[in-house]
Amino acid sequence: MNAVEHLLYDEVTHFMDRLATSVAPGAVAPTALPGVRARLDDAEAELAAARAAMVESYGRWRRALEDVENYWALAAWRSSAAEEPREHAAALAA
d(CA 34, CA 29): 10
What are the sequence ranges of the domains in the chain?
3-22+29-93
For the stretch 53-84, pLDDT in tens is 999 999 999 999 999 999 999 999 988 887 76
* N-term to C-term CA, the chain: 57
- Cα 45 to chain centroid distance, Å, stands at 19
- Ordered alpha helix ranges (H), 1-94: 3-22, 34-93
d(CA 12, CA 18): 10
For the stretch 35-44, pLDDT in tens is 888 898 999 9
Model pTM score: 0.68
